[in-house]
Chain A
Amino acid sequence: KNEVEQSPQNLTAQEGEFITINCSYSVGISALHWLQQHPGGGIVSLFMLSSGKKKHGRLIATINIQEKHSSLHITASHPRDSAVYICAVLPGNQFYFGTGTSLTVIP
């Protein structure tokens, strides 16, 4: 059993749609990260959360520590948002990663 579960695994959306990606974890954590990985491997850190909610442009990330659940929302999705989105949690100094959600936004 993975410590971090993401859903859905794959997601196709029309440009402009509101998108939600979910992450559940089973360990106590000090922080949760949302990462974006484009084809070819490059990873960009989008958010680091330990409580509440953060917003950056069209991206919003929320976390509920009691329920061990986080969501990443993308408003007004765009084809350039197409990427794999990975949730990673930090129980100590070792990251546990989800397997990622592959998002494709169609023009």
Chain B
Amino acid sequence: ETGVTQSPTHLIKTRGQQVTLRCSSQSGHNTVSWYQQALGQGPQFIFQYYREEENGRGNFPPRFSGLQFPNYSSELNVNALELDDSALYLCASSLGRGPDTQYFGPGTRLTVL
């Protein structure tokens, strides 16, 4: 059984650029959630996907978008990057939409200059 993996580990972009972050869920998990964690803060919920459909969204603008693929891997896309988008982006997979244990990936550290 493989755990949750994310790529890339680190990324540096400039303001206005676009970025795609990737997450591979734990085997058998059909739900993936994405979180943004600014330095010194707790994670903030971005959105959740269940069986390729968005299943809830936090208070993030539309330039944050996502996809979940048939193999339950997922992407987070951020357009028109802003300096405040610099953060650790975490994905977590779980089995089902309910209050199940979530398994977190190691995160992608995004720096926007």
Contacts and interface: CB of A to CB of B under 8 A. Distances in A.
Contacts of A95: 33, 35, 43, 45, 102
Nearest to A30: B99
A96 B45 contact: yes
A86 B43 contact: yes
B106 A42 contact: yes
Interface residues of A, number: 25
Interface in A50-97: 50, 86, 88, 90, 92-97
A88 B37 CA distance: 13
B contact residues, range? 20 to 34
A50 B99 CA distance: 9
B44 to A, nearest CB: 7
B2 interface: no
Contact of A45 (B55, B88, B97, B101): B101
A107 interface: no
A41 B101 contact: no
B42 A97 contact: yes
Nearest to B59: A94
Given A41-B88, A88-B43, 11 more contacts: A41-B107, A43-B90, A45-B103, A86-B43, A93-B55, A93-B97, A94-B48, A95-B33, A95-B35, A96-B45, A97-B35
Interface of B: 33, 35, 37, 40-45, 48, 55-56, 58, 88, 90, 92, 97-104, 106-107, 109
Interface of A: 4, 30-31, 33, 35, 40-45, 48, 50, 86, 88, 90, 92-100
